[in-house]
Amino acid sequence: MHNESPKHTNQLVHSTSPYLLQHAHNPVDWYPWGNEALTRAKEENKPILISIGYAACHWCHVMERESFENEEVAAFMNDHFINIKVDREERPDLDQIYMEAVTTITGSGGWPLNCFLTPDGRPFYGGTYYPPQAMYNRPSWLEVLQRLHHAFHNRRDEIEKQANQLTYHIQTRDKVVFKSPIIDLSIEQAVETNQVEQVFQVLKRNFDLSDGGFGGAPKFPGTMNLQWLLDYHYHTKNEEALQHLTFSLDKMIQGGIYDQIGGGFARYTVDKKWLVPHFEKMLYDNGLLIALIANAYKNTQKELYKETIEHTLQFIEREMMSEEGGFYASYDADSEGVEGKFYVWDEAEIDELLGDDAPLFKAFYDVSAAGNWEHKNILNCPVSYEEFAKVQQINLSDLKDKLAQNRQSLFTYREKRIKPGLDDKIILGWNALMCSAYAHAAAALQNKHYQKIAEQNLAFMLEKYKSGNSEYHLLHTYKNGVAQHPAFLDDYALLIAAILDVYALNFDASLLPLADHLLQFVERHFSDASSPIFYYTPDYQEDIILRKKEFYDGATPSGNSTMAANYQRLGALLGKPSYQEQALKMVKSAETALSKLPSSFGRWANAWMQLAYPHYEVAIVGKEALHIAQQLQQLHIPQIYVAATSTPNNSLSLFEDRFQEGETLIYICEGMSCRMPVETVEELIEEISSLSH
Listing DSSP states for 295-339 in one string gives HHHHHH--HHHHHHHHHHHHHHHHHSB-TTS-B--EE-SEETTEE
Name which residue leads in pLDDT, 673 or 131. 131
Q: Is residue 93 part of a domain?
A: yes
pLDDT reading at 1 higher than 50: no
Task: Give the tens place of pLDDT for each residue, 438-450.
Answer: 999 999 999 999 9
Task: For helices 625-633 and 681-692, give the axis angle rounded to 10 degrees.
Answer: 60
* Domain boundary pick from 122, 143, 177: 177
137 part of a folded domain: yes
Average pLDDT over residues 233-238: 96
Q: Are residues 409 and 484 in the same domain?
A: no
The whole-number pLDDT of residue 179 equals 59
Helix (H, G, I), strand (E, B) or coil at 118: coil
Task: Transcribe 482-526 into DSSP letters.
Answer: EEEEEPPHHHHHHHHHHHHHHHHHH--TTHHHHHHHHHHHHHHHH
Mean pLDDT value of segment 559-581: 96
Residue 426 near residue 479 (C-beta atoms within 8 A): yes
Asked whether residue 539 is domain-assigned, the answer is yes
Q: Output the pLDDT for position 201.
A: 95
Task: Give me the mean pLDDT over the 363-379 stretch.
Answer: 98
**CA 473/CA 394 separation, integer angstroms:** 59
Mention every residue, 6+ apart, whose C-beta is less than 8 A from residue 572.
580, 615, 617, 641
pTM, entire model: 0.94
| Helix (H), strand (E) at residue 268 | strand 268-269
CB 99, CB 113: distance < 8 Å: yes
| Whole-number Å distance between alpha carbons of 638 and 208 | 26
Amino acid at 484: Q
- What does the mean pLDDT of the chain come to? 94
Residue at which a domain ends, from 177, 203, 236: 177
pLDDT of residue 536: 97
Same domain? For 607 and 573 the reply is yes
Q: Is the pLDDT of residue 74 over 70?
A: yes
Amino acid found at 168: Y
Which of 589, 613, 637 is where one domain is finished?
613
> Does the pLDDT of residue 180 top 60, yes or no?
no
Q: Specify if 43 maps to a domain.
A: yes
CATH number at residue 589: 1.50.10.10
Helix (H, G, I), strand (E, B) or coil at 266: coil
**Among 222-231, 273-282, 305-314, 546-555, whose mean pLDDT is lowest?**
546-555
Listed in sequence order, the residues at least 6 apart from 348 whose beta carbon sits closer than 8 Å to its beta carbon are none
Q: SS3 of 193, please?
A: helix
State how far the Cα of 140 lies from the Cα of 131, in Å rounded to an integer: 5
Tell me the residue range of the domain where 150 lies.
11-177
Q: Kindly give, in sequence order, each residue whose CB lies less than 8 Å from that of residue 382, ignoring residues fewer than 6 positions away.
A: 254, 366
Q: Considering only residues 194 and 601, tell me which one the structure prediction assigns the higher pLDDT.
A: 601
CA 465, chain centre distance (Å): 19
Tell me if 5 is assigned to some domain.
no
Q: C-alpha angle 258/262/268, rounded to 5°? A: 25
Phi-psi map region of 209: left, alpha, beta (phi>0 left; psi -120 to 50 alpha)? alpha
Same domain, 49 and 103: yes
624-657 pLDDT, tens digit per residue, is 999 999 999 999 999 999 999 999 988 899 999 8
Instruction: Write the CA distances from 507 to 287, 494, 500, 627, integer angstroms.
Output: 22, 19, 9, 12
**Residue 108 in this model has a pLDDT that exceeds 90:** no
pLDDT score, position 172: 85
pLDDT for the residue numbered 523: 98
CA 85/CA 68 separation, integer angstroms: 11
What is the domain count for the chain? 4
Q: Which pLDDT value is given to residue 644?
A: 97
Amino acid letter, residue 345:
W
Whether 345 contacts 370, CB under 8 Å: no
Are residues 455 and 579 part of one domain? yes
Name the CA radius of gyration of the chain, rounded.
26
Q: What is the mean pLDDT of residues 326-337?
A: 93
Nearest residue to 461 via CA among 316, 288, 286, 326: 326
What CA–CA distances, in Å, run from 475 to 253, 426, 539, 636? 35, 11, 14, 34
φ and ψ at residue 52, rounded to 5 degrees: -115, 135
Q: Is the Cβ–Cβ distance between 291 and 231 less than 8 Å?
A: no
Residue 263 within a domain: yes
Question: Residue 71 above 90 pLDDT?
Answer: yes
**Sequence-ordered strand ranges (E) for 579-691:** 616-621, 640-645, 665-670, 673-674
> Which residue did the predictor score with more confidence, 546 or 470?
546
Nearest to 227 by CA among 248, 257, 209: 248
Query: First and final CA of the chain: distance in angstroms?
Result: 65
pLDDT for position 176: 64
| Spatial contact of 524 and 553, defined as CB atoms under 8 Å apart | no
Residue 199, SS3 per DSSP: helix
578 and 637 belong to one structural domain: no
pLDDT band at 517 (very low <50, low <70, confident <90, very high): very high
- pLDDT tens per residue, range 458-470: 999 999 999 987 8
Q: Give kind and range of the element (H or E) at residue 627.
A: helix 625-633
Among 55-59, 256-260, 263-267, 426-430, which is the least confidently predicted range? 55-59
Contacts of 50 (CB under 8 A, 6+ apart): 33, 84, 86, 94, 98, 113, 114, 115, 116, 117
Mean pLDDT (whole number) for 676-689: 95
pLDDT tens-digit readout, 589-629: 888 888 888 899 999 999 999 999 999 999 999 999 999 99
Both 461 and 496 in a single domain?
Answer: yes
Q: Residue 551 and residue 337: Cα distance in Å, rounded?
A: 36
pLDDT value of residue 502: 98
- Is residue 1 one of the residues assigned to a domain? no
Q: What is the 3-state secondary structure of 371-416?
A: CCECCEECCCCCCCHHHHHHHHCCCHHHHHHHHHHHHHHHHHHHCC
209 and 75 in one domain?
no
Question: What gap in Å lies between CA 109 and CA 350, rounded to an integer?
Answer: 40
Same domain, 558 and 581: yes
pLDDT over 90 percentage in the chain:
88
Q: How far apart are CA 91 and CA 485, in angstroms?
A: 8
Tell me, yes or no, whether 3 lies in a domain: no
Specify whether 369 is located in the same domain as 503.
no
d(CA 631, CA 296): 16
pLDDT score recorded for residue 198: 92
The verdict on 71 and 98 lying in the same domain is: yes
Q: Do the Cβ atoms of 298 and 445 come closer than 8 Å? A: no
Q: Are residues 191 and 249 in the same domain?
A: yes
Q: How far apart are CA 334 and CA 419, in angstroms?
A: 9
Pairing of strands 665-670, 616-621: antiparallel
Task: Tell me what pLDDT residue 650 has.
Answer: 87
- Mean pLDDT lowest among 162-176, 421-435, 625-639: 162-176
Tell me: do 248 and 355 sit in the same domain: no
- For residue 636, the one-letter residue type is H
Structure confidence at residue 188 (pLDDT): 52
pLDDT of 473 > 90? The answer is: yes
Residue 183 has pLDDT above 50, yes or no: no
| Exposed/middle/buried for residue 527 (C-beta within 10 Å: 0-12, 13-18, 19+) | middle
Cβ pair 665, 681 in contact under 8 A: no
Q: How far is 442 from 629, CA to CA, in rounded Å?
A: 13
Dihedral sign from CA coordinates of 434, 440, 445, 451: positive
pLDDT at 135: 87
Cβ neighbours, 10 Å, residue 594: 25
CATH number for the domain spanning 20: value is 3.40.30.10
pLDDT at 82 over 70: yes
Residue from 304, 288, 270, 311 nearest 230 by CA = 288
d(CA 85, CA 421): 19
